[in-house]
């Protein structure tokens, strides 16, 4: 059954080819159904492969399928091959599952777009790239997927390319990611020349993962930090997060799939995959944990002041990814992956819910123009409320379990970082409550005469079914790794082994930590209620200016500082280089040329004055000269 | 067989020139037929090429000017094979797909076609020549048709650009001539026989170390201009901007490779010790070229000029690879010569199409073209991603091999060179945004999309971009043995160490 693995990426690739060739002919909605079917098929193939993997003993749950040699020169050789192990299959399952649901949702959401087929072609290409990223049996193939998802992200963010903001955001995402890619490439060079292979498992020396035990601390630290640069680009960590809020210019399903549930978790996957290297570099782990914790808090502070419904979710994603890096840096890989999965469900849910609300209000994204949508969008509201409780960490919703696991393990390792995490949890509960209150509760502000009369209505079934499914998962998702049972932890054990930092704090302390987290979440919700549901002005205007400072809305001005630098000194430097090239370097050439020209003019008597003959003359002269020299010798 | 590759285009050029003026349009198709025949022949050479053999194959060796020791010595190996195939295939595509531009009009179709065929003969001759004299003649011969193509069918101040191009490369050639003559005579003094034969000269190695270094510099001067290596690159943007589309495609796709190919075949092969001695200089210039040209490219107001600067950056990668002297880096450099030819060829073709429709290449005057010409946008996107080095497309294979190979011997330079991937994304995506994204206005909104004829030119090249990115093995397997021989040669003749598996050169010492 394991041999079905090649179908997992092959099906979405078929979808890409079919839609590229016949997308326009298939039209709406058939193109969308074709794309959805291929991704759903990929999920089925993933389940089949997973069952096959479960049939193996725990220590043999690592199977490689090689298709063909991709690039091979001398001692350097990489294949196109797939590594099936608990880590890759975990990603395959949630990527294809969430992917299929979002495809389904998009059929309705993208209704009426004149590039309907193209949209689904890109979406399938994205799923294919993401699957190559996680299934690739070597770093270079993972890099292919890595760049592929980046390219798809670019294409989909700037999907509505006629809007300047969308075009700029797509470019910004790609270029920022490329900074991370520099780290990825350099890490690969260093690993290859130290270990002699980039293939994870097998081949000479047993493969990268087992050979990396021989790395010195210095090399391991350098590689781990370079990989973190890559991960920070893809997974939007400080200071490379700047592209993600702008990426919200893309269609909302794209934000849900790429910029919340799947692509942005690629950095987590990369670090988890190379956990043997991270294990040898404790100081790099510290850096990762600190940057993760800082990003979590930083992005949460920005989220509290956003007015755009999607921007809140974007900063929230950055913040939640920070939690995952905090866990990775601490060595709690399972906790990080657990949160990755629960986050995929509830954040996709929140985005799709937001999309449904935006859809109902004819494209309105400003929360000040929303409110009281609970009555007109019952399914959307219920689903979004489930997502809100999940992300806020209210038991028994899934986010409670995964966030709690991270916080407990961090408490054990570094109470200082735990406090940062807790503070972030408070802010998370607060800003998500604020959003839900502004959108679904309070007064209706969307029927503002300045914006025309609106008649919001619940979205069609194609959009609500994914909401219902993800809502259900957001309630029960915590079951995959309940404390004490730890199904996911046991499943992933062969991947991390003794490198996983296990929870050693006593049961009583764990309960106490969980209680603190729940109290914090409730406090966050109550503060938001006080400010946004109990304040008559805020109910009327949809804002509370005293707690939404401009500085936070601009995310402490980090993005602005980057723009100012590239638009100012950076641009001037490039202009100076261009001017230098024209005047100094080419100037030297022109100087020489004019000397030649003057000489030419003086000897015009023997020249006809025709540049063409002049050119021919030079060639003839050169040949004659050669002959003369040769004969004379 | 190889002789036919050089002689056939000449014969067709003569035939085209002899077509009576009233049948001038037919001349173009006669030329296309000739170029196609050569293309088929190049594919036959590819098929008959023996994969595992690193030496010269299908060798032709006839005495030509015996009193000078010049022989008609041609041969092909993994290094030249794909350059020959690229030349063989690019010429018919360009000649069939791109109409002659400029003010010259129909009656000049004969001259245009004849010059193109002569250019092809020169390029093929230069890639196949194993005799220094023959190489020099071919290396010079290509200048003349290119000069007339730029001067006669170009845009704007084209004759000035043509003159600049001509003078620049002629200056380099003067050094090359002196170098070639000196090598032959010094060898004659040492061994008693006068010969221009590359293999004989390389094997005899009669030169003193210092002499070898001076002669290498003379060769390097010519090749550095042709490549072009920073700071000798300024002729290229001018030549490209004024050149007609077909000439631009050939200039970037084939002719620039005469420089990098010359470095490899003649510079490094004849003077391994000197090449190793000067490698730090060339690697430095290559890396400066990567970063500097990329920065300059961002600010170019003219789309064609921007792509010309991107060529300078790409050729910087190739120079880095060639002079890092590892099997991976040199193989990467060789395959990158072919890759750059294909992807930059597509970019120049599309710029030509835009110019033909909009009569401008100024980025500021374009915009929103993806709306009016979606197919053109897709083609440009694929070539752009190849140029940026997106894995899965051909550009990645060469760039990655160059970088991973260079890392072992030139670690810090490679780390700097890798920033080129960020800059390439920046200038190309920004250009794409300004030209294709946004809402089209005026003439931009009504610009026609790619025609069927243009599509037929683009599709094979785009297919090549994808296939060589996913399955480059057939290409690499043929390049590698020849490169290994060359790298071993540097290893034998100079204090250079080939790094082995799992260790950098420094660590092994």
Chain B CB contacts of A131 under 8 Å are none
- For the cut 90, the answer to whether the pLDDT of residue B379 exceeds it is yes
Residue A526: burial class (beta carbons within 10 Å; 0-12, 13-18, 19+): middle
pLDDT of A603: 59
pLDDT digits (tens, 9 = 90+) for B284-310: 999 999 999 999 999 999 999 999 999
Contact assignment for B422 to A192 by CB distance below 8 Å:
no
pTM of the model: 0.92
pLDDT of A446: 80
The separation between the first and the last C-alpha atoms of chain B, rounded to the nearest angstrom, is 46
Contact assignment for A161 to B472 by CB distance below 8 Å:
no
Region A515-526: mean pLDDT is 94
Chain B neighbours among A 589-618 (CB < 8 Å)? 589, 593, 596, 611-612, 615-616, 618
Q: Does A194 touch chain B (CB under 8 A)?
A: yes
pLDDT of A622: 63
Chain A CB contacts of B295 under 8 Å are 573-574, 577-578
Measured CA to CA, the distance from residue A138 to residue A72 in angstroms comes to 13
Contact assignment for A178 to B385 by CB distance below 8 Å:
no
Confidence of residue A578 (pLDDT cuts 50, 70, 90): confident
Confidence of residue A12 (pLDDT cuts 50, 70, 90): very high
pLDDT digits (tens, 9 = 90+) for A421-462: 999 999 999 999 999 999 999 888 887 666 667 788 888 889
- For the cut 60, the answer to whether the pLDDT of residue B22 exceeds it is yes
Measured CA to CA, the distance from residue A335 to residue A328 in angstroms comes to 8
pLDDT of A624: 64
- For the cut 60, the answer to whether the pLDDT of residue A272 exceeds it is yes
Contact assignment for A578 to B299 by CB distance below 8 Å:
yes
Residue B365 has what DSSP assignment? G
**A-B contacts at Cβ under 8 angstroms:** 186
Residue A460 has what DSSP assignment? P
Chain B neighbours among A 57-96 (CB < 8 Å)? 68-76, 80
DSSP lists the bridge partners of residue B129 as B74
Measured CA to CA, the distance from residue B53 to residue A377 in angstroms comes to 72
- For the cut 60, the answer to whether the pLDDT of residue B99 exceeds it is yes
Contact assignment for A185 to B400 by CB distance below 8 Å:
yes
Contact assignment for A74 to B400 by CB distance below 8 Å:
no
Q: What is the mean pLDDT of chain B?
A: 88
pLDDT digits (tens, 9 = 90+) for A288-316: 999 999 999 999 999 999 999 999 999 99
Measured CA to CA, the distance from residue A12 to residue A123 in angstroms comes to 9
**Widest distance between CA atoms in chain A:** 105
Interface pTM, i.e. ipTM: 0.92
- For the cut 60, the answer to whether the pLDDT of residue A384 exceeds it is yes
pLDDT of B18: 84
For chain A, give percent helix, strand, coil, nearest 5.
80, 5, 15
Chain B CB contacts of A144 under 8 Å are 391-392, 396
Out of A76, A167, A616, name the one closest to residue B404 (CB): A76
The SS3 call for residue B223 is helix
Q: Does A433 touch chain B (CB under 8 A)?
A: no
Region A570-590: mean pLDDT is 83
pLDDT of A482: 85
Contact assignment for A175 to B148 by CB distance below 8 Å:
no
pLDDT of A312: 94
Q: CA nearest A8: which of A79, A99, A70?
A: A99
A372 or A274, greater pLDDT: A274
- For the cut 50, the answer to whether the pLDDT of residue A521 exceeds it is yes
Contact assignment for A193 to B437 by CB distance below 8 Å:
no
pLDDT of A126: 95
The SS3 call for residue B65 is strand
- For the cut 60, the answer to whether the pLDDT of residue A630 exceeds it is no
pLDDT of B508: 37
pLDDT digits (tens, 9 = 90+) for A104-153: 999 999 998 889 999 999 999 999 999 999 999 999 999 999 999 999 99
pLDDT of A621: 66
pLDDT digits (tens, 9 = 90+) for B111-123: 888 889 999 999 9
pLDDT of A221: 95
Measured CA to CA, the distance from residue B44 to residue A355 in angstroms comes to 58
Residue A244: burial class (beta carbons within 10 Å; 0-12, 13-18, 19+): buried
pLDDT digits (tens, 9 = 90+) for B412-464: 999 999 999 999 999 999 999 999 999 988 888 888 999 888 899 999 999 99
Out of B370, B392, B415, name the one closest to residue A161 (CB): B370
């Amino acid at each position: 059954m394991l041999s079905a693995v090649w179908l997992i990426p092959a099906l979405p690739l078929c979808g890409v080819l079919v839609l590229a060739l016949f997308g326009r002919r298939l039209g709406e909605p058939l193109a969308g159904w074709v794309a959805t079917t291929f991704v759903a098929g990929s999920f089925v193939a993933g389940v089949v492969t997973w069952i096959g993997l479960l049939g193996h003993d725990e220590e043999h749950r690592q199977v490689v399928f090689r298709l063909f040699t991709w690039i091979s020169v001398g001692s350097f050789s990489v294949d196109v091959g797939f590594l099936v192990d608990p880590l890759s299959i975990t990603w395959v399952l949630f990527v294809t599952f969430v992917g299929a649901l979002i495809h389904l949702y998009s059929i309705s959401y993208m209704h009426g777009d004149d590039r309907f087929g193209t949209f689904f072609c890109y979406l399938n290409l994205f799923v294919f790239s993401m699957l190559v990223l996680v299934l690739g049996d070597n770093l270079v193939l993972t890099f292919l997927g890595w760049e592929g998802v980046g390219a798809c992200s670019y294409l989909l963010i700037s999907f509505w390319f006629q809007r300047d903001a969308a075009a700029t955001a797509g470019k910004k995402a790609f270029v920022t990611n490329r900074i991370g890619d520099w780290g990825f490439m350099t890490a690969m060079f260093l690993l290859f020349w130290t270990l002699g292979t980039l293939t994870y498992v097998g081949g000479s020396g047993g493969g990268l993962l087992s050979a990396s035990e021989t790395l010195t601390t210095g090399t391991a630290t350098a590689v781990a930090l370079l990989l973190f640069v890559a991960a920070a680009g893809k997974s939007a960590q400080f200071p490379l997060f700047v592209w993600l809020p702008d990426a919200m210019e893309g269609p909302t399903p794209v934000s849900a799939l790429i910029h919340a549930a799947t692509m942005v978790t690629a950095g987590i996957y990369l670090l988890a995959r190379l956990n043997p290297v991270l294990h040898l570099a404790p100081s790099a782990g510290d850096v990762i944990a600190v940057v993760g914790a800082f990003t979590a808090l930083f992005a949460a502070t920005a989220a509290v002041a956003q007015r755009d419904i999607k921007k809140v979710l974007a900063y929230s994603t950055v913040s939640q990814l920070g939690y995952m890096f905090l866990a990775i840096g601490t060595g709690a890989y399972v906790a990080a992956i657990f949160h990755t999965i629960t986050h995929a469900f509830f954040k996709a849910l929140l985005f799709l819910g937001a999309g449904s609300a935006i859809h109902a209000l004819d494209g309105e994204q400003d929360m000040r123009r929303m409110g009281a949508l609970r009555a007109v969008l019952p399914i959307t509201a219920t689903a979004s409320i489930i997502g809100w409780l999940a992300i806020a960490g209210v038991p028994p919703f899934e986010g409670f379990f995964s966030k709690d696991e991270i916080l407990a393990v961090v408490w054990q390792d570094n109470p200082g970082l735990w406090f940062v995490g807790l503070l972030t949890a408070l802010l998370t509960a607060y800003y998500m409550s604020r959003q839900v209150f502004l959108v679904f509760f309070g007064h209706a502000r969307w029927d503002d005469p300045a914006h025309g009369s609106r008649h919001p209505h619940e979205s069609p079934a194609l959009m609500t079914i994914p909401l219902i499914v993800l809502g259900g998962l957001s309630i029960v998702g915590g079951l995959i790794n309940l404390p004490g049972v730890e199904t996911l932890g046991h499943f992933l054990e062969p991947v991390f082994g003794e490198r996983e930092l296990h929870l050693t704090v006593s049961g009583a302390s764990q309960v106490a930590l969980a209680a603190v987290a729940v109290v914090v979440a409730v406090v966050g919700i109550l503060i938001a209620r006080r400010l946004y549901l109990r304040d008559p002005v805020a109910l009327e205007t949809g804002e509370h200016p005293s707690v939404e400072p401009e500085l936070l809305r601009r995310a402490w001005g980090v993005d602005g500082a980057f723009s100012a630098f590239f638009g100012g000194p950076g641009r001037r430097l490039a202009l100076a280089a261009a001017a230098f090239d024209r005047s100094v370097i080419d100037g030297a050439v022109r100087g020489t040329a004019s000397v030649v020209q003057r000489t030419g003019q003086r000897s015009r008597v023997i020249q006809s004055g025709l540049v063409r003959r002049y050119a021919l003359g030079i060639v003839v002269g050169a040949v004659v000269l050669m002959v003369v020299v040769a004969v004379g010798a | 067989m190889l002789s036919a590759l050089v002689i056939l285009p000449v014969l067709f050029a003569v035939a085209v020139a002899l077509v009576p003026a009233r049948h001038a349009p037919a001349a173009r198709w006669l030329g296309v037929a000739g170029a196609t025949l050569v293309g088929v022949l190049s594919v036959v050479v590819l098929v008959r090429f023996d994969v595992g053999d690193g030496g010269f194959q299908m060798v032709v060796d006839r005495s030509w000017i015996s009193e000078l020791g010049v022989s008609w010595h041609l041969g092909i190996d993994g290094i030249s094979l794909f350059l020959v195939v690229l030349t063989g295939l690019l010429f018919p595509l360009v000649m069939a797909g791109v109409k002659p531009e400029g003010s010259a009009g129909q009656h000049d179709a004969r001259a245009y076609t004849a010059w193109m065929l002569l250019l092809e003969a020169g390029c093929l001759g230069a890639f196949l020549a194993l005799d220094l004299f023959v190489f020099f003649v071919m290396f010079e011969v290509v200048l003349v048709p290119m000069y007339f193509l730029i001067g006669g069918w170009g845009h704007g101040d084209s004759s000035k650009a043509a003159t600049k191009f001509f003078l620049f490369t002629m200056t380099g050639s003067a050094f090359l001539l002196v170098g070639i003559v000196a090598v032959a005579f010094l060898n004659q003094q040492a061994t008693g026989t006068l010969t221009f034969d590359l293999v004989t000269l390389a094997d005899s190695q009669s030169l003193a170390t210092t002499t070898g270094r001076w002669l290498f510099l003379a060769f390097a001067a010519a090749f550095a201009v042709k490549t072009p290596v920073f700071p000798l690159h300024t002729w290229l943007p001018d030549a490209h901007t004024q050149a007609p589309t077909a000439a631009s495609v050939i200039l970037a796709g084939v002719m620039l490779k005469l420089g990098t190919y010359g470095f490899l075949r003649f510079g490094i092969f004849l003077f391994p010790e000197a090449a190793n001695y000067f490698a730090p200089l060339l690697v430095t210039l290559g890396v400066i070229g990567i970063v500097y040209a990329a920065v300059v490219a961002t600010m170019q107001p003219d789309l064609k000029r921007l792509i010309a600067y991107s060529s300078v950056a790409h050729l910087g990668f190739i120079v880095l690879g060639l002079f890092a002297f590892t099997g991976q880096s040199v193989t990467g450099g060789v395959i990158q010569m072919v890759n750059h030819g294909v992807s930059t060829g597509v970019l120049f073709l599309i710029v030509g199409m835009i110019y033909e429709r909009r009569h401008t290449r100024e980025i500021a005057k374009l915009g929103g073209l993806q709306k009016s010409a979606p197919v053109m946008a897709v083609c440009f996107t694929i070539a752009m991603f190849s140029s940026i080095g997106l894995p899965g497309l051909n550009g990645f294979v060469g760039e990655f091999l160059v970088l991973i190979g260079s890392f072992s011997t030139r670690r810090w330079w490679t780390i700097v060179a890798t920033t080129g991937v960020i800059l390439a994304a920046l200038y190309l995506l920004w250009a794409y945004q300004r030209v294709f994204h946004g809402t089209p206005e005026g003439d931009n909104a009504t610009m026609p999309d790619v025609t069927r004829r243009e599509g037929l030119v683009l599709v094979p090249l785009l297919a090549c971009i994808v296939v060589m990115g996913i399955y480059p093995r057939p290409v690499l397997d043929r390049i590698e043995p020849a490169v290994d021989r060359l790298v071993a040669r540097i290893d034998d003749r100079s204090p250079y160490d080939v790094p082995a598996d799992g260790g950098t050169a420094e660590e092994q010492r």
